Chain A
Amino acid sequence: MAVSATTREKTYRAYMEFFDKAERNRRWHWLDDVPWDKLDTTKNREETAICLETFCGVELYVPDYTANGFNLTREIFGHAWFQANWGYEESKHALVFREYLLRSGLRTLEQYDDYEAKIFAKKWHLPFPTRRRMTCYGALQELATYQIYANQREKYKAEGNDVLHKIFFLVSRDESAHYGFYRRVLQFFFEEDYDGTLADLAHVVYHFRMPGVGLIPEYDDRLKTEGVGITSQQFLSDAVLPMLRKLGTTRPDLVRALRQKRLEEQAQSAAGGAPSGQAA
């Protein structure tokens, strides 16, 4: 899809603002900014290990996320450069979760290495093939991830686990900034083509799955541990609906687009074709 000069310029400015704020206010060091000296192994719980291991596993797909993301965005300066920064920030998330698992003794190095080998045995593929749909996906996925990490941040604050409280403060703040950038780019798409963007958003909402589905070992079992994921109802209330309000669109508009999408897909499957726009 051709990108207008105006959209290029707006995306560039959105990236510059994102990067400026990141460099000035949001940079953190996984050794210096986490109070590792307060690590208290009497607080170790298997549920904590499962949560951290799962989050770490999702973050470990950074090579696939960035490789695919660059291919999709390389011709748009603001978006491609965002991708580079995004990948750098996500890489620290995997690192800090790994550090906690090992330093706390929740996992041995051997256990962690086994897990990492299982992660890298699979590849993440783009769930949607266009930049516009992936921007819808990015916004929703980052906001859902923010909610999951913010819940963890509050849980560990209440439990007096200073190390995990700080870790989740730092990573959730990053996720919130990532959501902010994707939402702005999505806004540009809406300004350029409201109906087409709404149809894409409906498509993504309808087919949405968190990135760990089908990749993380025993993912469904892990979801039984409180805090690993959010329910589909929370996804709606904490991600989809707040984002619609920010974008200036409405729930009835999304429902109409969803209905249209469903009818199109039913017609296509009745005609024997695959639904359009789904990545292979």
Chain B
Amino acid sequence: MVDNSAIHEVNTDADILQLLRDALAYADPKVAAASSDAMTMTSTLADLGIESVCALEMVGYVEDKLNILFSDDEMSKINDIPGFVALIRKHHQPLQEKKHSHGS
């Protein structure tokens, strides 16, 4: 199980990128050691050497960490970091926005 007791505050692209680096380190430490630093907002999963099973585990990590669930269809269409980030943004409302929406 992923330890999600301390859910990150994920607001910026940099926050999400860090979350994805953590997910990669969790899913495959070897691939993470080789390509985590190279992960940017334009990388494809193939560029980073992330195979489908590794991506599956990364998605599981992110879902547990943020307490969200992607559909299988959404999950299987992720083939780059921008796509991954967009999907996280779709499902995860940042804490600041949540506070704002409560007040309106």
Q: Is B57 an interface residue (CB 8 A)?
A: yes
Name which residue of chain A comes closest to B56, CB basis: A255
With contacts A237-B77, A258-B53 taken as known, whether A251 is within 8 angstroms of B1 at the C-beta atoms is: no
**Chain B residues near A210 (CB-CB < 8 A):** none
**Chain B residues near A254 (CB-CB < 8 A):** 56
Give Cα distance in the complex from A206 to B57, angstroms: 11
**Chain B residues near A236 (CB-CB < 8 A):** 52-53, 55-56, 76
Chain B contacts with A in 52-93, Cβ cutoff 8 A: 52-53, 55-57, 59-60, 63, 69, 72-73, 75-77, 79
Q: CB-CB contacts of A222-257 with B at 8 A, as 1s and 0s? A: 000000000111011100110011000001101110
**Chain A residues near B60 (CB-CB < 8 A):** 251-252, 255-256, 259
Main secondary structure of the interface of B (DSSP, over half): helix
**Chain A residues near B55 (CB-CB < 8 A):** 233, 236
With contacts A252-B60, A255-B60 taken as known, whether A206 is within 8 angstroms of B76 at the C-beta atoms is: no
Name which residue of chain B comes closest to A241, CB basis: B72
B53 touches A241 (CB 8 A): no
Q: Which of B1, B52, B63, B75 has the most CB of A within 10 A?
A: B52
B52 touches A258 (CB 8 A): no
Give Cα distance in the complex from A187 to B75, angstroms: 24
Name which residue of chain A comes closest to B70, CB basis: A251
Name which residue of chain A comes closest to B63, CB basis: A252
Q: How many residues of A contact B (CB 8 A)?
A: 20
B53 touches A245 (CB 8 A): no
Chain A contacts with B in 248-280, Cβ cutoff 8 A: 251-252, 254-256, 258-259, 262
A245 touches B56 (CB 8 A): no
A206 touches B53 (CB 8 A): yes
**Chain A residues near B59 (CB-CB < 8 A):** 255
Name which residue of chain A comes closest to B79, CB basis: A233
Q: Is B13 an interface residue (CB 8 A)?
A: no
Name which residue of chain A comes closest to B58, CB basis: A255
Name which residue of chain B comes closest to A255, CB basis: B60
Q: Is B15 an interface residue (CB 8 A)?
A: no
A251 touches B52 (CB 8 A): no
Give Cα distance in the complex from A240 to B52, angstroms: 10
Give Cα distance in the complex from A231 to B52, angstroms: 9
Neighbour of A237 across the interface among B45, B63, B69, B76, CB < 8 A: B76
**What are 25 A-B pairs at a CB distance below 8 A?**
A205-B53, A206-B53, A231-B52, A232-B51, A232-B53, A233-B79, A235-B52, A236-B53, A236-B56, A237-B72, A237-B73, A241-B75, A244-B72, A245-B72, A251-B56, A251-B72, A251-B75, A252-B60, A255-B60, A256-B1, A256-B60, A258-B53, A258-B56, A258-B57, A262-B57
| B binding-site residues for A, Cβ under 8 Å | 1, 45, 51-53, 55-57, 59-60, 63, 69, 72-73, 75-77, 79
